[in-house]
Chain A
């Protein structure tokens, strides 16, 4: 299983209801259903990924996340998960609001643009950073709203979002003791667990 899923699943209680935004091939939801009897629903836009979900028996709805979650009632899921898609949204601030309207809790992961390698790349080379966490050229990257951990936490403060947990990991989703000394410099990916204040 993807290492970030390994981390996320610890935060999801058994028998809960989970909405996975940009659920990909449904791996997380299939795992949660199998191991924790979680009732899940995935939203995804890519046809081959949807077919993979269907093959796994994961309920999935084709939906463009940039068009919002208007078809979901407020507080209708225990947890709304969004892994590695937040930075790809047209309006991430509104997405954050929507996540916590629909879910009692939200789990978000995204790459940190303030990681030392990105700073070094831009600072020394004068070019848009590329790394394991950001492997795509600037012109064809789906990541249109990159931010740093500090930026994100500032957004949470403005939007009255409470950070329940944060795990900062490297690009392999491994937690290393030294990262937490200076997470905004040393962390490549953060996994946040959030709720509304």
Chain B
């Protein structure tokens, strides 16, 4: 590790690649004949392989959860605040795995990959993924790494849904399930936001029904709009007011339709930078996976019955100003877990940041996470 990194950083990391030739049957009825997963690991796997923690990423995340890829990187991985030596997910004790989900656009097999059946990129033909498909592929990666049981599976937002799915589908392979700022299923309002985002993309003239690569174009405008909309829902009214207020970009009103307010400039920047790095088909796929997630549907819509299969202990956290997945949504999971007589700890954390709070080192939140995981490590004897 270079000395130029902070002592609580995992430092320089390199992604790894695992190739799977066994077909993966999917929720949608199709299968992927072969695929690759890109992942990163931080820390050391102990002798009895009991100290592994899986980090599941949210909508726009990937395998790069902590540390830096090159010494020149300005930004570390997306959850660097929580993962590292001495941080809540302490890499001196845990072996941490983060991967790019199937259908992603950061190296794992996805819409940009070559379809072995046609020799051309999958594009819109890439199967729509469900959360359980990701979990299945993650379990196969765990097999590959020799990990029979995770000390904990951890995720925020869409990542929290994967953690929840792990507890249901692989009850013997997970000791603790950490679900942050998630929901047992999307509300109609959530789905509506996702649909507007998808429409922004598919109505972009450069979308070409998802075959933009064949046309050498890219629906950058649509994707930017989708991200702008998403971004608004991830922040809270308070955090936007605090960050931008009604501050003017040029100090005066222009009486045209260019950028007047700082918040407009910020959203445009966020939208554009996102559309430069993210694949439009992946965005459609990830939002659909969110919409479809509803584990209780297989159990007569009774979440408690569904969760009675789980054997792990649960930690849930929500944030007071999160309106995309409000605390009440986490409480639905908590109530079902209590009813199913599972061990559960839950805390709503006062935080102004909205849904995005799960990425910030908020003291109450991090003390909860680190105290819980400290206990997980103590119980595991590492």
A interface residues with partner B (beta carbon < 8 Å): 17, 39, 41, 47, 50-51, 53-55, 57, 59-62, 71-73, 76
* Complex contacts, B212 vs chain A, CB 8 Å: none
Interface of chain A: mostly helix, strand, loop or mixed: mixed
Do A59 and B375 contact each other (CB < 8 Å), given the known contacts A47-B364, A51-B367?
no
- Tell me the bound Cα distance from A61 to B338 in angstroms: 10
Q: Does B46 contact A (CB under 8 A)?
A: no
Q: Across the interface, which residues of A come within 8 angstroms of B372, CB to CB?
A: 54
Check A61–B371 contact: CB distance below 8 A. Answer: no
Q: Tell me which of A55, A60, A71 contacts B331 (CB under 8 A).
A: A71
CA of A50 to CA of B317 in the docked complex: distance in angstroms?
Answer: 12
A97 and B364 alpha carbons, distance in the complex (Å): 33
Q: Is the CB of A61 within 8 A of B368?
A: no
Please name all residues of chain A whose beta carbon is closer than 8 Å to the beta carbon of B331 when the two chains form the complex. Answer: 71
Interface residues of B in 241-278 (CB under 8 A from A): none
A19's closest neighbor in chain B, by CB? B338
Asked, given contacts A41-B338, A76-B339, whether A51 binds B346 with beta carbons under 8 Å apart, the answer is: no
Task: Collect the chain A residues with CB atoms within 8 Å of residue B36's CB.
Answer: none
Instruction: Please determine whether A60 and B335 come into contact, CB atoms closer than 8 angstroms.
Output: no
Is B52 located at the chain interface by the 8 A CB criterion?
no
Please tell me which one of the listed residues A53, A54, A62, A72 contacts residue B338 in the complex, with CB atoms under 8 A apart. A72
Given A54-B372, A61-B347, 18 more contacts at CB 8 Å? A41-B344, A47-B347, A47-B367, A50-B345, A50-B368, A51-B371, A53-B345, A55-B371, A55-B374, A59-B343, A59-B345, A60-B345, A60-B346, A61-B338, A61-B344, A61-B345, A71-B335, A73-B339
CA distance A76 to B374 in the complex (A): 31
Q: Are B341 and A50 in contact (CB under 8 A)?
A: no
Q: Are A54 and B334 in contact (CB under 8 A)?
A: no
Chain A residues with CB below 8 A from B379, complex form: 57
Q: Within the complex, what minimum Cβ distance (angstroms) separates A184 from chain B?
A: 38
* Whole-angstrom distance between the Cβ of B241 and the nearest chain A Cβ: 25
Contact status B367-A57, CB under 8 Å: no
B348 in the interface (beta carbon within 8 A): yes
Which B residues between 321 and 367 are near A, CB-CB below 8 angstroms?
331, 334-335, 338-339, 341, 343-348, 364, 367
Tell me if A59 and B371 are in contact (CB < 8 A): no
Question: In the complex, what's the smallest C-beta–C-beta distance from A104 to chain B, in angstroms?
Answer: 15
> What chain A residues lie within 8 Å of B367 (beta carbons)?
47, 51
* A45 → B minimal CB distance (Å): 10
